Structure 1
């Protein structure tokens, strides 16, 4: 190992930072020459998964397999949303920006996994040195996303042809594992509940099983939305049966949740920063949600998830045996569409009674 001014330095250690003291030095005063927690790096792994938040969350099961296969690896993750990742489980979390790109392009990795088809992610796949690369690269002639190797063919093709996507019967996490050369064996998400933050939830009801109702779905695919009338009916059925519904959502759902609170008396505590919202969801006994960020958080928190789906392939979602997926009684004809071909979304054909029955089956009183 190199010495600087006669002092031993271990740049190959997973704890070593180079720009600031490492955690063992900060907390215990250890130095490299006699450090009892020296952890030499055997593999250098880079994951490129930029966003959105939900997609980043549902990629975290890969960490479990990587730690199992390569326990002495240093894992670096490049993303647009570093705050959502469990920093304690990843050696280095980098936000996509120019300094991070310049830094990574001067390094070398043993394994590189690019799980995004964004052009910038594919360009990084091509420009960062690694002994083995998986996922997506740029087509050398046409500059579009292209499979890095044959392992990525299936996931690539289901993303560019709706017909193949409709035929797919593999959950997203299984597809990601296979793209990386692994067999998926039910690895759970790696996620922080933020329970250690000490948030004050004294405003939450303390009686009955709390059923979180995430009432929004973002503005990209509004065909997923359920009407206020349906939510009011579901809330009434939950209350009558002895459950305690709690309204959940962000700023986009605040007005709707205020209306639903006024109409039904269902608990609503307001909107919160992401980490606090995650911890609020952790206080629930089950979550009712459409396909949106809250769905990924609910699955990651290992909550029974009652998933309302219409426009996506239902095989894409793995609830890990907790909860149920419910769909409208009418067949949806708007696969991955933001507006309904027929004028009125088939989500209105999903009866509240059907969702209520799924809650009862998932978390019986």
Structure 2
């Protein structure tokens, strides 16, 4: 039996996009013992899948422990899809017959040499899988669509006679520039509840105050912020009709379970939208029109007056939501 290590401990959205690759790894190595070196987010995200037999959670505060856990194995193959300085450093402590990198060797990164990204079909071929078998697998359309494994659950708030919309009001604490703003979301939510839609607020601990503020001004809102695990959130998003939010992880999570999405873009490029990312469902985005000269700036905090997000109107957002609900 082969021992295989997969390395990826980046952001939620990036981890979601790896679903297609991880599913393929398991398909072509069904009897292998596959270990996933990841973050706590990665473990929660894929806990319902059969992709991995074991999880090693990378702990920045206890680097030695991570090395000890990796030292228990002699791996036949390592798929390093992280390709960061940390992952390259960890490789020095990993016993492996073959190590494959998705985006270049450590010395190429050190010298800032740009390399072609190797996607999972190429990595699988290098690992020893016949190209004809990989091509046959990839010709099946479903094998190129992200389908996050999740549990189907029934919820008290679900009403088949009403549309349910999850609203992700936040973004990571680093990316204040991605946020549309609590006041705009509140006005939008007031319009949606007036139309008898069910509204769920979702988010992390950093959005608790914003969620409480919105809930206090609209008691029809169901506030789930910081009240679900990542596994539970997948089930919630699979049960709603639409996710509306900023360019952040929840959009990828919702799309990953097949739910339609509307993403509001400001400081980042719309090329990151789930509309272009191999997801099932209908996905749209809104961005300042015409595009501003400073956009996209990729600055975590706007140095001016957040003009890009100010330009996305509440009325336009509500109209696009209606369009997507009709497509459900």
**Partner of residue 131, structure 2:** none
**Partner of residue 134, structure 1:** 101
Matched, 1:363 2:325: yes
SS of alignment partner, residue 139 of structure 1: helix
Mapped to 1, the partners of 2:238 and 2:92 lie a distance apart of 39
The answer for unaligned runs of 5 or more in structure 2 is: 126-134
Mapped to 2, the partners of 1:106 and 1:146 lie a distance apart of 33
Mapped to 2, the partners of 1:179 and 1:339 lie a distance apart of 38
Listed one character per residue, the Cα deviations across residues 26-70 of structure 1 (whole Å, up to 9, x for unaligned) are xxxxxxxxxxxxxxx3x4322100133332232222112223333
**Partner of residue 20, structure 1:** none
1:11-22 aligned within 5 A: none
SS of alignment partner, residue 358 of structure 1: helix
Q: Per-residue deviation at 1:298?
A: 0.8
Residue pair 2:252, 2:274 contacting (<8 A) in 1 also: no
**Partner of residue 250, structure 2:** 294
Higher RCO (CA 8 Å, separation ≥ 6 residues): 2
Residue pair 1:123, 1:137 contacting (<8 A) in 2 also: no
Matched, 1:124 2:85: no
TM norm structure 1:
0.70
1:158-173 aligned within 5 A: none
Gap change, CA 1:56 and 1:363, over 3 Å in 2: same
How many residue pairs are counted as aligned between the two chains? 296
The answer for unaligned runs of 5 or more in structure 1 is: 1-40, 156-174
Q: Per-residue deviation at 1:306?
A: 0.9
Q: Per-residue deviation at 1:242?
A: 4.2
Mapped to 1, the partners of 2:288 and 2:74 lie a distance apart of 50
Q: Per-residue deviation at 1:204?
A: 5.8
1:246-257 aligned within 5 A: 246-257=200-211
Shifted more, 209-218 versus 76-85: the winner is 76-85
TM norm structure 2:
0.77
**Partner of residue 15, structure 1:** none
SS of alignment partner, residue 346 of structure 1: helix
Q: Per-residue deviation at 1:127?
A: 4.3
Gap change, CA 1:211 and 1:191, over 3 Å in 2: same
Residue pair 1:137, 1:146 contacting (<8 A) in 2 also: no
Q: Per-residue deviation at 1:288?
A: 0.4
Mapped to 2, the partners of 1:232 and 1:59 lie a distance apart of 34
